[in-house]
Amino acid sequence: MAIVYSVTVIAFACCFILTPFVITMCKKKGLVDVPKDSRRVHSKPMPRCGGIAIFTASMIALATYYFLTKDIPSIAFNTQFWGYLIGAILIFAMGIIDDIFTLKARYKSIFEFAAIFIVFFFGIRIENIGNLQLGWFSLPVTFLWIITVLNAMNLIDGLDGLAAGITSISALSLLMLFISTSASLEAIVITAAIVGAGIGFLPYNFNPAKTFMGDCSSNFLGFTMACVTILGFSKGYTAVEYLSPVLILGVPIFDTIFAMVRRAVKRKPLFAPDGGHIHHRLIKAGFTQRQAVLILYTITSTLCIIAVALITQDVWKLSLLVIMSTMFIVLWIASMIKNRELKSDQTVNSSFKVNNT
């Protein structure tokens, strides 16, 4: 497993080093997001393609693994990996074009459909749920899962550090599950790369952010998470245990489902942007960006604990996830206390000024 952990370290180092260069490039090329409507919570232009570093770092880590293992059949990539790679490049290209020129939904669909059919052709597919063999329903079920997770991760990317943090927590939980259950090698290695790249990007994306990841990265991460869950849960699980990936990705998935229902009820286009996502509601409820993000980190960690508990009884894995959740709760409480102290100081200062006048 040392080589797998090396993939995580390489992805982390590459992303951490590359992100400042990507930020500089975005500023020079004018690839910035300007706050122009009420949905946006930032107050100044922000580089919007920082996630190029996530994709690049992941590819470097995976390429390193490939060249080190290509002559060792027992740990070399199989054809499913190449299907994932082609699909991931297509999705990333779609995101870059959208970040620069703004693609219409129908053109995005062409890229998404093509990527899904490619991975399905290469064997990344949901063929059964427990003992239930899907047969011809394998394609629509696979399509529905990938398109849901892909768009869910894109839609949840609305606050500093939210998508990157949720992806990192979810990927780390999946990695522990995959290693403990001897899942597909491709699932383990790809997930290891995502863990490293996501954590390496967070220092630049957590509030106050220096860059956004952009659609190029949120779509890439969503597509990747969908593919690794299919690869990692391809066989040997009961129907109940198949709830694990749904729980691990629960926050973005359920937020997307509620968004679709909300828009359908209001008779609005299903993919039209609005300000009703869970993170928008937390901000409207009075939480700061940091507090809202930490709340959603904590919910994600809790769901991950439940998901891991469904499949494995290993105490150390559950303990690690409990520690993660506790850390986020402590950070959230500390953030709330600090925010209240700042508000109290501002109130005192304003009162002092009034009295002096």
Cα distance between residue 291 and residue 310, in whole Å: 29
Q: What's the predicted TM-score (pTM) here?
A: 0.86
Closest CA to 19 of 54, 45, 69: 54
Contact 49, 23 (CB under 8 A): no
Closest CA to 200 of 57, 33, 76: 57
Band (167; pLDDT cuts 50, 70, 90): very high
| Cβ-based neighbour number of residue 71 at 10 Å | 7
**Mean pLDDT, residues 135-143:** 94
**Mean pLDDT, residues 101-117:** 93
Question: Please, what is the average pLDDT of the chain?
Answer: 85
- Both tokens of 200, joined, read 């390496």
Q: Is the pLDDT of residue 318 over 60?
A: no
Closest CA to 257 of 153, 148, 164, 165: 148
Contact 161, 328 (CB under 8 A): no
| Cβ-based neighbour number of residue 273 at 10 Å | 13
The CA-to-CA distance between both ends of the chain, in Å, stands at: 69
| Cβ-based neighbour number of residue 258 at 10 Å | 13
- Helix boundaries (H) for the chain: 2-29, 52-69, 79-101, 105-121, 138-155, 162-180, 185-205, 214-232, 243-248, 250-265, 278-284, 289-311, 315-356
Q: What are the boundaries of each domain within the chain?
A: 21-356
**Mean pLDDT, residues 99-125:** 94
More confidently predicted of 224 and 349? 224
- Give residue 300's pLDDT: 92
**Mean pLDDT, residues 243-259:** 90
Lowest mean pLDDT among 54-58, 147-151, 271-275, 331-335: 331-335
Residues 6+ apart with CB under 8 A from 242: 129, 130, 233
- Give residue 351's pLDDT: 47
**Mean pLDDT, residues 325-354:** 55
Tell me the per-residue pLDDT of 184-243, one tens digit each, with 9 for 90 and over: 899 999 999 999 999 999 999 998 899 999 999 999 999 999 999 999 987 656 666 778
Closest CA to 200 of 301, 320, 50, 330: 50
Q: What are phi and psi of 54, to 5 degrees?
A: -65, -50
- Give residue 280's pLDDT: 79
- Give residue 296's pLDDT: 93
Q: Is the pLDDT of residue 346 over 80?
A: no
Band (316; pLDDT cuts 50, 70, 90): low
Across 105-109, 144-148, 344-348, which has the greatest mean pLDDT?
A: 144-148
**Percent over 70 (pLDDT), the chain:** 82
Closest CA to 53 of 170, 208, 214, 252: 214
- Both tokens of 18, joined, read 């590359």
**Percent over 90 (pLDDT), the chain:** 53
Coil, helix or strand for 219? helix
Tell me the per-residue pLDDT of 31-88, one tens digit each, with 9 for 90 and over: 998 776 555 555 678 898 999 999 999 999 999 999 999 988 888 899 999 999 999 9
Across 90-94, 125-129, 251-255, 266-270, which has the greatest mean pLDDT?
A: 90-94
